């Protein structure tokens, strides 16, 4: 599991690491599941990152925070934190990939693209 030091941003308390993926150009992104609501997660990151961020989609609700300088010549994705609401009329949340894991579904996901390449 990556640490806050590796990611360069705080991890919401109690969030569970789900997976990391190759983003290309030597970058990775990290997915965490949370039982906290979308609104609570956005409020937490607004406070800890000291910025408003941007609501980029209303359905499903998706909020992005930029946390570092984006260099399109060397990066596939801008460094940042994205909060995505997975609970809706058609979804009970993102399935926990761990067999028998608790909770069985995460209402909200956090995607972190580190400020610097995590090792």
118 within domain boundaries: no
> How far is the C-alpha of 86 from the C-alpha of 93, rounded, in Å?
5
119 within domain boundaries: no
Domain of residue 90 covers 4-113
pLDDT tens per residue across all 119 residues of the chain: 899 999 999 999 999 999 999 988 889 999 999 999 999 999 999 999 999 999 999 989 999 999 988 888 888 889 999 999 999 888 889 999 999 999 999 999 999 999 865 44
17 within domain boundaries: yes
Q: pLDDT (tens digit, 9 = 90+) per residue, 35-68?
A: 999 999 999 999 999 999 999 999 899 999 999 8
Domain count within the chain: 1
Instruction: Characterize 62-73 residue by residue with b for buried, 16 or more Cβ atoms within 10 angstroms of its Cβ, and e for exposed.
Output: bbbbebeeeeee
């Amino acid at each position: 599991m990556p640490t806050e030091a590796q990611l360069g941003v705080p991890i919401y308390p109690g969030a569970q690491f789900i997976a990391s993926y190759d983003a290309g150009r030597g970058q990775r992104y990290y997915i965490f599941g949370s039982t906290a609501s979308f609104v609570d997660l956005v409020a937490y990151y607004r406070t800890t990152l000291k910025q408003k961020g941007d609501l980029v989609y209303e359905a499903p609700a998706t909020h992005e925070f930029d946390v570092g300088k984006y260099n399109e010549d060397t990066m596939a994705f801008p460094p940042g934190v994205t909060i995505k609401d997975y609970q809706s009329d058609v979804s009970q949340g993102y399935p926990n990939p761990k067999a028998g894991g608790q909770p069985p579904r995460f209402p909200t996901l956090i995607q972190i693209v580190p400020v610097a390449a995590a090792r």
